[in-house]
Amino acid sequence: MTQPAQTSPTPQLPAMTLADLQAQMQHWQQPAFRAKQLLDWCNKGVLDPCEMANIPAPLRQLLQENLCCQPLKLVHRQCSSDGTRKYLFALQRDRVAGKMVESVFIPEEKRGTVCISSQVGCVLDCPFCHTGTQGFEANLTAGEIVAQVLMIKHDLRQEPLADELHSDVTHIVYMGMGEPMANEAAVQQSIEILMDEQRLHLSRRRITVSSSGLVPQITRLGAAQPVNLAISLHSADDAKRDILVPINKKYPLAELRRCLDAYPIGKQRHITLEYVMLDGVNDQADDLATLVRFVQPERERVNLIQFNPYPGSPYSGSSKQHMKRFAQQLISQGIRATVRRSRGDDIMAACGQLKADATIPNQG
Q: Which residues bind ligand SAH (CB under 6 A)?
A: 128-130, 175, 179, 210-212, 232, 274, 276, 305, 307-308, 351-352
Cα 69 to its chain centre, rounded Å, is 21
Is 256 a binding residue for ligand SF4 by CB under 6 A? The answer is: no
Nearer to ligand SF4, 55 or 106 (CB): 106
Closest CA to 244 of 337, 338, 129: 129
Nearer to ligand SF4, 101 or 207 (CB): 101
Residue type, 285: A
Site for ligand SF4 in 158-187 (CB under 6 A): 178-179
Give me the 192-231 binding string for ligand SF4, x by CB under 6 A, dash otherwise.
--------------------x-------------------
Q: Which of ligand SF4, ligand SAH, none is residue 125 near (CB under 5 to 8 Å by kind)? A: ligand SF4
The minimum distance between CB 211 and ligand SF4, in angstroms, equals 8
Closest separation in Å from C-beta 135 to ligand SF4: 10
Q: Could you tell me which of 291, 330, 343 has the C-alpha nearest to residue 80? A: 343
**Active-site annotation holder among 68, 102, 115, 300:** 102
Q: Any contact of residue 125 with ligand SF4 (CB under 6 A)? A: yes
Establish whether 197 is a catalytic residue.
no
108 binds ligand SF4 (CB under 6 A): no
Residue 129 is among the residues annotated as catalytic for this protein? no
* 89, 151 Cβ separation under 8 angstroms: yes
Q: Which stretch binds ligand SF4 (CB under 6 A): 17-25, 90-98, 118-126, 197-205?
A: 118-126
For residues 108 and 125, which CB has a smaller minimum distance to ligand SF4 in the complex? 125
Over the window 55 to 74, marking each residue x when it contacts ligand SF4 by CB under 6 A and - when it does not, the resulting string is --------------------
Could you tell which of ligand SAH, ligand SF4, none binds residue 175, using a CB distance below 5 to 8 A set by kind? ligand SAH
Q: What angle do CA 174, 178, 182 make, to 5 degrees?
A: 90
Distance CA 254, CA 67 (A): 46
Find the binder of ligand SF4 among 59, 69, 72, 126 (CB under 6 A): 126
CA 214 to CA 255: how far, in whole Å? 10
DSSP label at 118?
S
Report, in Å, the least distance between residue 352 CB and ligand SAH: 2
Nearer to ligand SF4 among residue 166 and residue 240 (C-beta): 240
Residue 242 binds to ligand SF4 (criterion: CB under 6 A): no
Provide, rounded to whole angstroms, the least separation between the CB of residue 124 and ligand SF4.
Answer: 4
The strand pairing partners of 172, in sequence order, are 114, 207
State the sign of the Cα–Cα–Cα–Cα dihedral 194, 39, 154, 168.
positive
**Site membership for ligand SF4, residue 122 (CB under 6 A):** yes
State the Cα–Cα distance between residues 309 and 315, nearest whole angstrom.
8
Residue partners of 253: CB distance under 8 A and separation at least 6: 236, 237, 238, 241, 294
Distances in whole angstroms, Cα of residue 144 to Cα of each of 99, 130, 192, 269: 12, 22, 14, 29
Residue nearest to ligand SAH (CB): 352
Beta strands in the chain (DSSP E): 72-79, 85-91, 100-107, 112-115, 119-121, 136-139, 171-174, 207-211, 228-232, 271-277, 300-306, 337-339
* 86 SS3 class: strand
In this structure, are residues 105 and 152 in contact, taking their beta carbons and an 8 Å threshold? yes
Contact partner, 278, from ligand SF4, ligand SAH, none, Cβ < 5-8 Å per class: none
> Rounded to the nearest whole angstrom, what is the least distance from the CB of residue 185 to ligand SAH in the complex?
17
- Total residues found in the chain within this entry: 364
Residue showing the smallest CB distance to ligand SF4 in the complex: 132
List residues binding ligand SF4 (CB under 6 A). 122, 124-126, 129, 131-132, 178-179, 212, 232
Catalytic residues: 102, 351
